[in-house]
Amino acid sequence: MKRLVALALLLLAGLTGAAAAAIETPFFAERVATGKLPAIDQRLPEQPRVLDMQSMGRIPGKPGGTWRMLMGDQRDLRMVTLYSYARLVVFDEKLQLVPDILESFEDQDDKVFTFHLRKGHKWSDGQPFTAEDFRYYWEDVALNPKLSPTGPNVALLANGQKPKFEIIDPETIRFTWDTPNPAFLPSLAASQPVYIFMPAHYLKQFNPRYAGKDDLAKKIKDAHVKDWSALHERMSRQYRPENPELPTLEPWRNTTPPPADFFVFERNPFYHRVDENGRQLPYIDKIAMMLGTTNLIPAKVASGEADLQARYINFEDYTFLKHAEQANNYQVELWQQGYGARAALMPNLNAADPIWRKILRDVRFRRALSLGINRRDINRVLFFGLARESGNTVLPESPLYKQSYADAYTNYDPAEANRLLDLVGLDKRDGEGFRLLPDGRRADIVIETAENDTVDTDILELVGDDFAKLGIRIFNHPSQRDAFRQRIFSGQVIMSMAEGLDNAVPTEKFEPDALAPSAESQFQWSRWGLYFESGGSQGEAVDMPEPQHLLDLLHDWRHSTSDAQRKTIWDEMLSINADQVYTIGIVNGTQQPVVVDGNMRNVPKSALFSFEPGSFFGIYMPDTFWYDVKSE
């Protein structure tokens, strides 16, 4: 039924799209007039994606202008890919999967996926985007041992098996697995998507299967690379758009070859989205990305050098930014950060020290620490009371949220905490009243953090006062991020502090991998995670019942066939995590300042700012943002 409604809506959208005649964009008027570019009708697919601004609560805009943004280094080029958020399928603001680059898709029991491309859809260089681009990726990249030494991306494997790939016609392709692959569609819609298509017509010149031998040899020599695979890899990066020649389907395409400190992106003349009036999106013509020292970015933003900026500005810059709001004609909005916790203590269940490991694995110890933190004071002192005192779990914005997850062991109860600590074998104290480990050492905890984030240090200062009342002293040891991780991975760290769940607004369609020991980067059980990631060749096997159960549940989710089943699995995993307090969340829902130019329209006043889901600005579709200025 649902699917039928969706189809009907889609048809309706298609009809309205056909109704409004496409309007030429002034930015391209000259190029069209001189014949360098075909007219708008020939540039758009037959069925563009029509965004009805009115029904989205937005104002249909007019084209023009440059979006200036400030970034740190060349790696940040990927922010444009994130902010653009054009994917085969995308999550809408209600976190429902909708087709975007695809015209439509069919999903049979999560085993057979049929994708329908938009007829007449073109790459940014004007060449047609067809099933061949998917075939090229699958046969010539994913299955090529030189380009993909470890095989196709895991999202393309269900139970370790590769799919059957078929081309039905130039606009239709199908992936078929024997077992369900529920993670497939979300991975295509992810902020960092799995790309299953590549511009074949462009990349074939770097592939010896298609390119002339001498021609390719010359290209390899000119680029100073070892062989064709290195050249192909460099030229084909879609996520980090470094290569200005690489055709794209995104709203803006890079025009500056690196290295540079200033990158200019220009609107893609063949972009597939239009508004209800027939104006091709994006409204904004250009993006100007300036690279520089990140510590200077708040000051530069305050002097009006960015039009829409959130990266590299923090809550502590808020008052400073607010101060110059009038003078430089911008507004500072506060969005909500999407982490499960702004800061969470992560007891290392794989700590190398056997005495500590035994204590950290005792759930009563973890609950005691959680009960011993005065979250209210931390919220008031450091976040003006604007954050939410909560465990490390999903946010209320997620359909999977339950109050009990957020509240589990987060009430401040030092008496109960002391009672629990006495029970876990920390009942002996030294002359100064600090607790002793069973082997007579003082139970001092060194809490390691990455970089010197001043907020982390401040939180730990307050937590330290709270823990002193439990007879435990803590010390903060900040180190460079990479070294910090290596120390955790090797088990030298007893406890660390980091952000909580990366995706704290999931629906049941997202894979619950962050809730089970499935990755080395999970600091509370990194060696178990590594064991899972490496398929058992590295790390340690899980040797506790509850984490093993979480892994089984993750396995069940990967073989699940219905949303109801997935929801049950999520519920169980969330409640186990809340009850077992594997990570001790302190506050979440902290604020992210977003600076918006005074003339920019359609930017939400308040929203969720998160990498996953949402691609930071991406889910709010920056291609619909526009400048309300009198035309020159």
Partner 1 sequence: MLRYLIRRFMIMIPTLFFTSAIIFTVINLSPTDYFSNYVAELQAQGEKADMSRVEFLKREYGFDKPPVERYFLWVGGLLHGDYGYSFEYQLPVKDVVGDRLYLTILVSFSTILFTWLIAFPIGIYSATHQYSWADYGLTTLGLLGLAIPHFLLALLFMYFANVWFGLSIGGLMDPQYLNASMSWGKVRSVLAHVWIPVLIIGTAGTGAMIRTVRANLLEELQKQYVTTARAKGLHPFRILIKYPLRLAMNFFISDIGSILPSVVSGAELVAIVLSLQTTGPLLIHALQTQDMYLAGSFLMFLATLTIVGVLISDIALAFLDPRIRLQGGAR
- Catalog residues that contact partner 1 under the rule CB under 8 A: 68, 73-75, 147-151, 153, 191-192, 224-226, 229-230, 233-234, 242, 256, 258-262, 264, 288, 290, 292-293, 295-296, 299-300, 303, 305, 450, 480-483, 485-486, 502-503, 521, 611-612
Residue with tokens 């260089």: 125
User: Residue 129 Cβ, how far from partner 1 at the closest point, in Å?
Assistant: 23
User: Residue 262 Cβ, how far from partner 1 at the closest point, in Å?
Assistant: 3
User: Residue 485 Cβ, how far from partner 1 at the closest point, in Å?
Assistant: 5
Distance CA 81, CA 62 (A): 23
Give the pair of three-digit tokens for residue 298.
């708040």
Give the pair of three-digit tokens for residue 196.
């299953």
155 SS3 class: helix
Helices (H), 313-453: 318-323, 354-360, 363-371, 375-383, 403-407, 414-423
Report phi then psi at 14, rounded to 5: -60, -40
User: Residue 511 Cβ, how far from partner 1 at the closest point, in Å?
Assistant: 12
Strand order in the sheet with 445-450: 388-389, 584-588, 343-347, 495-498, 445-450, 474-479
| Peptide bond connecting 170 to the previous residue in cis, omega within 30 degrees of 0 | no
Do residues 588 and 395 make contact, with C-beta atoms less than 8 angstroms apart?
Answer: yes
Residue among 94, 77, 354 at smallest CA distance from 239: 77
Residue among 343, 335, 346 at smallest CA distance from 390: 343
State which residue, 60 or 500, has the beta carbon closest to partner 1: 500
State which residue, 39 or 352, has the beta carbon closest to partner 1: 352
DSSP 194: P
What is the Cα 430 distance to its own chain's centre? 47
State which residue, 104 or 191, has the beta carbon closest to partner 1: 191
State which residue, 324 or 462, has the beta carbon closest to partner 1: 324
User: Other C-beta atoms within 10 Å of 89: how many?
Assistant: 21
Distance CA 606, CA 38 (A): 39
State which residue, 151 or 536, has the beta carbon closest to partner 1: 151
601 SS3 class: strand
User: Residue 256 Cβ, how far from partner 1 at the closest point, in Å?
Assistant: 6
User: Residue 416 Cβ, how far from partner 1 at the closest point, in Å?
Assistant: 34
User: Residue 224 Cβ, how far from partner 1 at the closest point, in Å?
Assistant: 5
Do residues 204 and 210 make contact, with C-beta atoms less than 8 angstroms apart?
Answer: yes
State which residue, 8 or 260, has the beta carbon closest to partner 1: 260
Strands 89-91 and 97-99, bridge-based pairing: antiparallel
State which residue, 275 or 499, has the beta carbon closest to partner 1: 499
Q: Could you tell me the end-to-end alpha-carbon distance of the chain, in angstroms, rounded to an integer?
A: 50
Query: Which residues face 12 on adjacent strands?
Result: none
User: Residue 258 Cβ, how far from partner 1 at the closest point, in Å?
Assistant: 6
State which residue, 70 or 173, has the beta carbon closest to partner 1: 70
State which residue, 151 or 399, has the beta carbon closest to partner 1: 151
State which residue, 290 or 544, has the beta carbon closest to partner 1: 290
State which residue, 258 or 399, has the beta carbon closest to partner 1: 258
Distance CA 587, CA 340 (A): 8
Query: Which residues face 597 on adjacent strands?
Result: 330
State which residue, 289 or 594, has the beta carbon closest to partner 1: 289
User: Residue 450 Cβ, how far from partner 1 at the closest point, in Å?
Assistant: 7
User: Residue 243 Cβ, how far from partner 1 at the closest point, in Å?
Assistant: 10
Q: Tell me how many degrees the CA angle 505-511-515 measures, rounded to the nearest 5.
A: 75
Residue with tokens 């069940």: 556
User: Residue 68 Cβ, how far from partner 1 at the closest point, in Å?
Assistant: 8
Distance CA 213, CA 226 (A): 15
> In this structure, is the dihedral angle defined by the CA atoms of residues 217, 222, 226 and 232, taken in order, positive or negative?
negative
DSSP 267: E
User: Residue 487 Cβ, how far from partner 1 at the closest point, in Å?
Assistant: 9
User: Residue 198 Cβ, how far from partner 1 at the closest point, in Å?
Assistant: 14
Do residues 336 and 607 make contact, with C-beta atoms less than 8 angstroms apart?
Answer: yes
H/E segment holding residue 462: helix 454-468
State which residue, 225 or 576, has the beta carbon closest to partner 1: 225
State which residue, 73 or 427, has the beta carbon closest to partner 1: 73
State which residue, 147 or 386, has the beta carbon closest to partner 1: 147
User: Residue 383 Cβ, how far from partner 1 at the closest point, in Å?
Assistant: 21
Torsion angle defined by CA atoms of residues 110, 111, 112 and 116, in that order, rounded to the nearest 10 degrees: 40
Q: Which residues contact 597 (CB under 8 A, 6 or more apart)?
A: 307, 308, 329, 330, 627
Do residues 166 and 173 make contact, with C-beta atoms less than 8 angstroms apart?
Answer: yes
Q: Which amino acid does the sequence have at 207?
A: N
User: Residue 377 Cβ, how far from partner 1 at the closest point, in Å?
Assistant: 27
HSE value, Cβ hemisphere, 13 Å, CA-based, for 147: 25
Ramachandran class of 539: left when φ > 0, alpha when ψ lies in -120 to 50, beta otherwise: left
